[in-house]
Structure 1
Amino acid sequence: MTDFSASPSSSSFAWPKLDRGPVAVALGMLVIGTVVIAQIVDLRQAVLFLVGGLFGATLYHASFGFTGGWRRLVVERRGGAVRAQMLMVAIAAVVFIPLLAQGSVFGQPLAGAVAPVGVSVLVGAAMFGLGMQLGGGCGSGTLFTVGGGSARMLLTLAFFIFGALVGTAHLPWWLTQPSLPTISLGTSLGAPVAVVVTLVGLAAVAAITVLVERRTHGALERPSKPKTRGLSRLLQGPWPLVGAGVLLALLNIATLLIAGHPWSITYGFGLWGAKIAQSVGVPVASWEFWSAPAQALALNRSVLFDITSVMDFGTLLGAALAAGLAGKFAPKANLPPKSALAAAIGGVLMGYGARLSFGCNIGALFSGIASGSLHGWVWFAAAFLGSYVGIALRPTFGMDGFKK
């Protein structure tokens, strides 16, 4: 006889926690934002806004950040997060490099995240790596944690924006320092060879993490069993790192096809800083960086015309919606002075460093390596070294660093 009073199975959908206010606000702003952007700009921009929302939800539900993943590898000798990152870049690269070699798709011109390799990249990436360990998040990590309600990361974001603005003022000088030209593996080696070389490089990084982890622990760490399944897990998380990495790669491919260039984050921060500075009388329009035609146009138009800004807004709201659905949207105002100082310093270093090195962990590393740009690999190496120094400095600010 069937017992109809039995509790539902673990795969049944249940919503024990739901922050209704944040969910309603985030969902409402996503809907309103989509309509407004479609009206003011165009439908393509509105779609990119929603793609940004999917980025934010994915990052939040999987806690997919470079900062914590790199720190776990260095401190705990656990490399699962870094392997997920390498898989993500690999999937994007297999699609990016051939498409970029083709030059366009469906009539849409395509441009990769390629940049010169020089002193500015080395210094800027190292600064960024150091800053993300003090600030508590990378470019994407800062956005999704702010969206999730973190007051500390809101402080990091504010100084991130300031650092990015100062970086635009100083970038022309940095560009006069020694540098190699832009080097694209796809152009230099041909798309097929460039894909193979990129995949071999990414596999080598993953293999090193496997070697380090097994030597330290004897075996690779197994993912913990999820407490939720099915629709509950989809809407509330947590999502597996590998699955999130695959989804982020697919979303970046979608960004390339729709926007004509890969996912980026930090250009928007510099633009927001410039607009704020201009509003209080700072003559940023006369700066060399902002007097260039493309930058001047961005400075004089609504931020809704800027693809990076619109996707950043979507990322914030997507993360807020995900946090609300998971019942974890919980802003906290208590911020120790040392932690606040670290957030401020980290934010400035990341903003300034990202501008000098032509991007952050997304625009330079993820999109850069996937585009076949040599500067993405140089950025990766320099940022990882900077991150190592940042981990060592964290205890100075009352934060966890190396184990004693």
Structure 2
Amino acid sequence: MPAMNPSDFQSLYTTVLWAAFAVSAVFGAIAHRTHFCTMGALSDIVNMGDWTRMRMWVLAMGVAMVGFHAMVGVGWIDPTQTIYFSGRVIWLSALLGGALFGFGMVLGSGCGSKTLVRIGGGSLKSLVVFFVMGVASFATLRGITAVLRDATVDRVAFQMEPGSPLPMWLAARLGWGDGAVAFIGIAVGALLIAWALADREVRRSTNAWLGGAGIGATVLGMWWVSGHLGFVPEHPQTLEAVYVATQSGRMEALTFTAPMAYTLDWLIYFSDKNKILTLGVASVVGVVAGAAVHALATRSFRWEGFAGTRDTALHLVGAVCMGIGGVTAMGCTIGQGLSGVSTLSLTSLLALAGIVAGAWAGFRFQLWLLERDG
């Protein structure tokens, strides 16, 4: 196949950015409508014993997993080209980074995606969390905490061949063909969907269907945009295969920690011609826009500020924890918890376990504060 000419390449670049924005806007609108929130789902379980929102979250995971592996099965995407594929499993970074992120999201009133959704709904304190989290993320990508991360937890790892996605590892161990990878992923995703829908209240809830299937579909949509629509076998200049508009040069899906940092970087250095829009930046803007449109359309837009000094301090600490932890774990509750887990990457599963443990510690800390004040 001949290389794409430069004008067609630029046109595709623009199309990918608009598609990423549209998918993310749908994500933002659905999340605002259904109150889709990982921290909220965990809080419901801890405080009320209510698993409804967790089943909605697992439904989203199952839909994304089935869709991802279905696309692998028909050859639309290559699972070895995702940012979650690696033979080197940084298990300590995933666990500790995930725990730090989970703790931070409790203090910060929600994860990265929830922060963006709340900004769209009028939360000024979430806007502060966004800026602080973005700076902490950037420092952990390229600054002082990046040096610390590289010199400590990132050095602790083990090799996993042919890669960290468990279906690929299992198929290789058992000597099965490539088709088994898609089958295993679809089967696991189907089991998750079945568990999520086993509850009658969930099956009868419009919110649960919209939040679960809808959010899962947006994760799947971003995989398609990045890995299929945006894949160019030969770049017009380098003649190398490229995934258009991605920061990493590999296939990406919805994730928000590092993209917050890249969004601030793009805004600050806007006049620098070397700073170009990427899929991650378009996703951040899209979520805020989608949530804002829904909030305004339903007249639920409300300005919100900090309740006091301690509320401000807790949110600032939470934002720093999320920025450092999210980058260290290579993703947030959406980046690792949905996008990464949809590939069944072991690293993503470890990061998700860390997030859950960190959130539990955050809830205990909040309870301690209440008991101390009471």
8 Å CA contact 1:186–1:372 kept in 2: the answer is: yes
Aligned to 1:346: 318
In 2 relative to 1, CA 203–39 (structure 1 residues): closer, same or farther, beyond 3 Å? closer
Distance 2:268 2:363 in 1: 32
Normalised TM-score (structure 1): 0.70
Distance 1:65 1:139 in 2: 10
Aligned to 1:198: 188
Cα deviation, residue 206, structure 1:
5.5
Deviations 1:328-356 (A, max 9, x none): 11112353111111110001100100100
Matched, 1:379 2:357: no
8 Å CA contact 1:194–1:372 kept in 2: the answer is: no
8 Å CA contact 2:57–2:211 kept in 1: the answer is: no
8 Å CA contact 1:164–1:270 kept in 2: the answer is: yes
Aligned to 1:255: 222
Distance 2:79 2:90 in 1: 28
In 2 relative to 1, CA 306–192 (structure 1 residues): closer, same or farther, beyond 3 Å? closer
Structure 1 residue ranges without an equivalent (≥5): 1-37, 211-219, 227-238, 280-298
Listed as ranges, the matches of 1:12-91 within 5 Å are 41-91=13-63
Give 1:185's aligned amino acid: L
- Pick the aligned partner of 2:94 from 114, 121, 127: 121
Cα deviation, residue 194, structure 1:
2.8
In 2 relative to 1, CA 384–136 (structure 1 residues): closer, same or farther, beyond 3 Å? same
Percent identity, please.
20
Deviations 1:166-191 (A, max 9, x none): 21132422464211245112321331
What count of residue pairs does the alignment treat as equivalent?
Answer: 320
- Pick the aligned partner of 1:186 from 159, 167, 170: 167
Distance 1:43 1:109 in 2: 24
Distance 1:49 1:196 in 2: 27
Cα deviation, residue 46, structure 1:
1.2
Q: Which moved more, 1:145-154 or 1:263-272?
A: 263-272
Listed as ranges, the matches of 1:90-109 within 5 Å are 90-100=62-72, 104-105=76-77
In 2 relative to 1, CA 80–46 (structure 1 residues): closer, same or farther, beyond 3 Å? same
In 2 relative to 1, CA 201–355 (structure 1 residues): closer, same or farther, beyond 3 Å? farther
Matched, 1:148 2:107: no
Matched, 1:272 2:253: no
8 Å CA contact 1:161–1:273 kept in 2: the answer is: yes
In 2 relative to 1, CA 43–194 (structure 1 residues): closer, same or farther, beyond 3 Å? same
Q: Greater CA radius of gyration, 1 or 2?
A: 1
Distance 1:278 1:348 in 2: 22
In 2 relative to 1, CA 400–193 (structure 1 residues): closer, same or farther, beyond 3 Å? farther
**CA root-mean-square deviation:** 3.4
Cα deviation, residue 99, structure 1:
2.7
Distance 1:89 1:108 in 2: 17
Deviations 1:135-190 (A, max 9, x none): 00112111101111112211221221122122113242246421124511232133
In 2 relative to 1, CA 176–321 (structure 1 residues): closer, same or farther, beyond 3 Å? closer
Distance 1:205 1:358 in 2: 27
- Pick the aligned partner of 1:243 from 210, 229, 238: 210
Cα deviation, residue 392, structure 1:
1.2
Give 1:127's aligned amino acid: L
8 Å CA contact 1:266–1:360 kept in 2: the answer is: yes
Distance 2:183 2:317 in 1: 41
Aligned to 1:10: none
In 2 relative to 1, CA 176–382 (structure 1 residues): closer, same or farther, beyond 3 Å? closer
Structure 2 residue ranges without an equivalent (≥5): 1-9, 172-179, 228-251
Deviations 1:192-232 (A, max 9, x none): 4532663387479859xx8xxxxxxxxx7947x99xxxxxx
Distance 1:369 1:325 in 2: 33
In 2 relative to 1, CA 334–94 (structure 1 residues): closer, same or farther, beyond 3 Å? closer
Cα deviation, residue 111, structure 1:
2.6
Cα deviation, residue 51, structure 1:
1.4
Distance 1:272 1:77 in 2: 38
- Pick the aligned partner of 1:135 from 108, 112, 118: 108
